[in-house]
Amino acid sequence: MGKQVAKHIEKLPPSGIRVFFDLVLGMPDVISLGVGEPDFITPWKIREKAITALEEGYTSYTSNQGLMVLRQSISTHLRKRYGLKYKAEDEILITVGVSEGLDLALRSLCSPQDKVIVVSPHYVAYPAIPEIIGAKTLYLVTKESQGFKINPKELSNLLRQKPKAMILNYPCNPSGVTYTEKELKDIWKEISKTDTVVISDETYDELTYDQDHLSFASLGKQAKNQTILLNGFSKSYAMTGFRTAYACANKEIIAAMTKIHSFSMLCGPIISQIAAVEALHSQKEVDRMRKEYKRRRDFIVKELNRIGLPTIMPQGAFYCLSSIKQYKMDSMKFATKLLNCEKVAVVPGKGFGQDFDSYVRISYASTFDDLKEAIVRIERFLNKL
Ligand SMILES: Cc1ncc(COP(=O)(O)O)c(C=O)c1O
């Protein structure tokens, strides 16, 4: 029998995170600082809405674009929060997670061989999707010495290759880095000279600790027209299992994304969409979780630096990227040793880009007690190296 799986899919490396966490599975007493999801349960009033919707018999498909009431709520939310005006009728699409939004955005924009800029360190899915659709990834590698932030000059050089799209993510998974208005304007200044579309993954927009988030599309009319805004309910509202998110863009792009979505996904789950409307009225709950993440961030970053893992202070999301350079081993070896010796799981940096093999990602979406115990264990481990 001939090979059944397409060559380019067979060649696609599995997520570095997955490989490592297969090791963690089944090991008892592990403190996992590897998770990419909130440790909070979805706030009760959102869950209650989902339960009631199910009891009332909401079990059908919705329109391909998603429930109008949810699109209207998102439209109102974005107008209030960022002054952004997206029409619920044809500029907003409900997707199955930001994951699907990203896939649809890239499929809608790119033909095979088109180029896509990925800023690294990056979320694991970013280079995988261009690979799956036959597009080429151009890496814009950020440096620790520049706070893992985009250097506009380097961006300008890459833009000369006329990429179809650039994936921007802030606050960033895995570095926790976000941008000021001035920094975003400097980035936009370079992009505005081109036709490159910015796919702005702002899934952590509610989780910033030192400054308010500014949405990329709010930089001006042209920026809005050249941006696909992706956001969702997974992180800010602790709703990962609801699989609900949204994409906002001009109506031509949303029509293209909806076309693909209507053939592949049909629509998002109705119960989750109803719950998401309630989420947009749950700012108090979001504020409560943000406050707790900030408390944990302040603790863990200070402690990591103290015990010998240099770590830049992240301004958002719930991750930090710690340097392991001085221990002279690659990130997989470091993470595996730490797991075996002290039963603490962190994520090897290589999964976030070739240039990040001397880093590990540490998530603080864990209880304060677990973070305290993890620090004791990591310190003991480092002292033995
Ligand atoms: C930057 C980023 N984008 C997208 C996602 C996927 O989110 P969703 O659950 O909405 O698909 C994640 C999940 O970790 C993420 O970190």
pLDDT at 20: 75
Lowest mean pLDDT among 5-9, 65-69, 302-306: 5-9
CA 229/CA 223 separation, integer angstroms:
11
Exposure string for 259-292, b = 16+ CB within 10 A, e = fewer:
eebeeebebbbbbbbbbbbbbbebeebbeebbeb
Q: Which residue of 235, 236, 319 sits with most ligand 1 atoms within 8 Å of its CB, as the best mutation to test the pocket? A: 235
Could you name the CATH architecture of 7-42+284-384? Alpha-Beta Complex (3.90)
Q: Other CB atoms closer than 10 Å to residue 134's CB: what's the count? A: 12
Q: Which residue of 96, 99, 122, 169 sits with most ligand 1 atoms within 8 Å of its CB, as the best mutation to test the pocket? A: 99
pLDDT at 342: 96
pLDDT at 16: 67
> Per-residue pLDDT for 26 more than 80?
no
Q: What is the pLDDT of residues 187-227, one digit of tens each?
A: 999 999 999 999 999 999 999 999 999 999 999 999 999 99
The residue whose two tokens read 């814009």 is 140
Whether the CB of 234 sits within 6 Å of ligand 1: yes
Q: What is the pLDDT of residues 284-308, one digit of tens each?
A: 999 999 999 999 999 999 999 999 9
Could you name the CATH architecture of 45-281? 3-Layer(aba) Sandwich (3.40)
CA angle, 269 then 275 then 276, to 5°? 85
DSSP string, 1-19: ----S-HHHHHSPPPHHHH
- Average pLDDT for 39-44: 96
pLDDT at 35: 81
Atom of ligand 1 nearest to the CA of 243: 9
Atom of ligand 1 nearest to the CA of 37: 14
Domain boundaries, the chain: 7-42+284-384, 45-281
Q: Which residue of 95, 126, 203 sits with most ligand 1 atoms within 8 Å of its CB, as the best mutation to test the pocket? A: 203
Whether the CB of 319 sits within 6 Å of ligand 1: no
Atom of ligand 1 nearest to the CA of 100: 11
CA 48/CA 289 separation, integer angstroms:
19
Q: How far is CA 265 from the centre of its chain?
A: 21
Q: Other CB atoms closer than 10 Å to residue 241's CB: what's the count? A: 10
pTM: 0.96
> Per-residue pLDDT for 357 more than 80?
yes
pLDDT at 69: 98
